[in-house]
């Protein structure tokens, strides 16, 4: 299953890189998408690779500051939710959940909480692709 999901991520990455415009802004978006794909394709993803996400978060934050009114809130609020999900303290959270179920094993559904950073990276990838624009480089 992991190999199939990795191949799907690689196929989506290849498609998006192939169809990204070859402008300065398109190159920024393409590099940011590659920065998102690297931890998703890695067999072992840890939070120490999350500084790679500074470029995608920065591009979307700059895009949110360039818009006005409801469009700003429509981009800024999900961006802050994604940032909060990426900032979950996983080791402390895991220790707390394990103590709730001690001395027995932790059930599988309690571990679903640890998929939130991965889902946040997928949401960040979607937001990058959704809010790209052909004239990105003129607005910088």
Instruction: Of 24-28, 89-93, 103-107, 133-137, give the lowest mean pLDDT range.
Output: 133-137
Count, residues in the chain: 140
- When divided into structural domains, the chain yields a total of 1
What are the residues whose beta carbons fall under 8 Å from the beta carbon of 64, sequence distance 6 or more? 72, 75, 76, 79
Q: Are 29 and 136 in contact (CB under 8 A)?
A: yes
Across the range 49-56, mean pLDDT stands at 86
What are the residues whose beta carbons fall under 8 Å from the beta carbon of 2, sequence distance 6 or more? 43
Q: Closest by alpha carbon to 85, among 112, 121, 58, 57? A: 121
Mean per-residue pLDDT of the chain = 84
Predicted confidence at residue 136, as pLDDT, reads 46
CA 82, 86, 89, 94 torsion: positive or negative? Answer: positive
pLDDT digits (tens, 9 = 90+) for 53-100: 899 999 988 888 888 877 788 888 899 999 998 888 878 888 898 899
Predicted confidence at residue 133, as pLDDT, reads 60
CA–CA dist 83, 101 (Å, integer): 29
Cα-Cα end-to-end distance for the chain: 41
Domain that holds residue 75: 2-139
């Amino acid at each position: 299953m992991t190999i199939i999901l990795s191949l799907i991520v690689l196929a989506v990455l290849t498609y998006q890189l192939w169809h990204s415009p070859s402008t300065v802004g398109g190159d920024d978006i393409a590099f940011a998408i590659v920065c998102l794909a690297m931890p998703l394709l890695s067999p072992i993803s840890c939070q120490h690779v999350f500084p790679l996400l500074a470029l995608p978060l920065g591009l979307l934050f700059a895009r949110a500051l360039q818009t006005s009114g409801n469009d700003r809130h429509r981009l800024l609020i999900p961006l802050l939710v994604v940032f909060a999900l990426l900032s979950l303290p996983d080791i402390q959270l895991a220790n707390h959940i394990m103590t709730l179920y001690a001395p027995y094993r932790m059930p599988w559904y309690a571990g679903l909480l640890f998929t939130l950073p991965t889902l946040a990276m997928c949401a960040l990838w979607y937001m990058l692709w959704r809010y790209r624009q052909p004239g990105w480089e003129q607005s910088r």
